[in-house]
Amino acid sequence: MTGANASQPGGESRAALGGDAELGAAAGEDAELRAAADEDAESRHAAGEDAEGCAVASRENDDDAIIRRETSEFDRGLSFFDAIYGFAVTLLIANVDLPEPREWRDLSSLAQSGLGQQLFGVVLSFVVICALWRVNVRLVKQMEGLSGPMMVANLAATGLVILVPFTTDAISDPETSALALPTVLYAVNIAGVSLAQSVVFQLGRAAGLERRHTSTRENRTGLLAAAVTPAVFVASVPVALTLGAGVAQLSWLALVVLLPLAGRFAERARRTQDRADVPVAGQAAER
């Protein structure tokens, strides 16, 4: 009995030492796990900083390439284009030559001086330039900003607008108005402005700058509507060369009928797209 009792303390101490060793091993494993977790967290944090840095760099590059609507650069760019349209309209009056004093004696003499034809050219181009300016304002209004290619295309459009007073003078001068070439140049001039404006919108759409996304079908309809003006003016070129300048200029009156019809067609396509977007938005909200 005495030997058995004496051996128990030694067994208990060995068991206690074994338990301490197990606890130490477990503590070591916990420390290793914590160290691994800390390293993983640091790596994730570093990766997150890298991703954030890339995102910031991407946004900076995007801001360098695109002039955003909320910036002062956007306002200055829009004001610059508006000023060119306004300057072109103002230059139109320079095409009107003051009649000789003897031609102011009565209305018949004043009419024979060619003043009426010159004033008609001024009114015609005033309406055309104002309509083109409204198109430019509307298409810029639909965009979140202006990209570099959009600026180049818009500069091309406004550059052609500056030529409108020159071609207007050619079609309204009594000595050149009956010739085919002035009418051809005027028609090409206006068609070029209209086509350049369509390019501006398509470049903005391709860059994802639309404030309201247009579907492929709606965009196709808008392109057809925008093609009416250049199509009428381009179609008048062979008319001027074959039938004369007067007949070609009369053909431009077709725009009085075609433009409202094209606008109504485009508006119907837009409303159809809006109705199609409503169920999609509702389903997204339910999810």
Report how many domains make up the chain.
1
Confirm whether 159 is domain-assigned.
Answer: yes
How far is Cα 39 from Cα 33, in angstroms, rounded to an integer?
A: 10
pLDDT digits (tens, 9 = 90+) for 93-119: 988 887 888 878 888 777 777 788 888
Range of the domain at 273: 68-286
Q: Considering only CA atoms, which of 160, 184, 177 is closest in space to residue 121?
A: 177
Q: Report the Cα 137 to chain-centroid distance in Å.
A: 11
CB 186 within 8 Å of CB 128: no
pLDDT bracket for residue 239 (50, 70, 90): very high
pLDDT digits (tens, 9 = 90+) for 37-91: 566 656 665 555 554 554 444 444 455 578 888 898 999 988 999 999 999 999 9
Residue 182's contacts (CB-CB under 8 Å, 6 or more residues apart) are: 167, 170, 171, 173, 176, 245
> What is the reported pLDDT for 169?
93
Q: Which two tokens stand for residue 12?
A: 């208990």
> What is the reported pLDDT for 111?
75
Neighbours of 147 (CB within 10 A): 20
Q: Looking at the DSSP assignment, which residues form a beta bridge with residue 145?
A: 68
Q: Is 50 exceeded by the pLDDT of residue 6?
A: no
CB 154 within 8 Å of CB 135: no
* Dihedral sign computed on CA atoms, order 201, 203, 206, 207: negative
Give the CA distances from residue 159 to residues 9, 10, 122, 264, in Å, rounded to whole numbers and listed in that order: 105, 104, 19, 30
Q: Looking at the DSSP assignment, which residues form a beta bridge with residue 146?
A: 67
| pLDDT, the chain, mean | 81
CA-based R_g, the chain, Å: 38
Q: Report the Cα 61 to chain-centroid distance in Å.
A: 19
pLDDT bracket for residue 2 (50, 70, 90): very low
Confirm whether 29 is domain-assigned.
Answer: no
> What is the reported pLDDT for 115?
82
What amino acid occupies position 148?
G
Q: What is the mean pLDDT of residues 132-150?
A: 92
Q: Is 80 exceeded by the pLDDT of residue 145?
A: yes
CB 255 within 8 Å of CB 228: yes
Confirm whether 275 is domain-assigned.
Answer: yes
Confirm whether 53 is domain-assigned.
Answer: no
pLDDT digits (tens, 9 = 90+) for 218-231: 889 889 999 999 99
State whether residue 278 is helix, strand or coil: helix
> What is the reported pLDDT for 3?
47
What amino acid occupies position 264?
R
Confirm whether 124 is domain-assigned.
Answer: yes
* Dihedral sign computed on CA atoms, order 235, 238, 241, 243: negative
Tokens 């086509």 belong to which residue? 195
Confirm whether 201 is domain-assigned.
Answer: yes
CB 122 within 8 Å of CB 88: no
Q: 257 exposed, middle or buried (CB, 10 Å; 0-12, 13-18, 19+)?
A: exposed
Q: Which two tokens stand for residue 55?
A: 């995102």
Residue 217's contacts (CB-CB under 8 Å, 6 or more residues apart) are: 269, 273
Q: What is the mean pLDDT of residues 190-217?
A: 93
Task: Please calculate the CA angle 268-132-90 and round it to the nearest 5 degrees.
Answer: 155
How far is Cα 69 from Cα 130, in angstroms, rounded to an integer?
A: 23
Confirm whether 241 is domain-assigned.
Answer: yes
State whether residue 241 is helix, strand or coil: helix
Q: What is the mean pLDDT of residues 202-218?
A: 90
Confirm whether 233 is domain-assigned.
Answer: yes
> What is the reported pLDDT for 47?
52
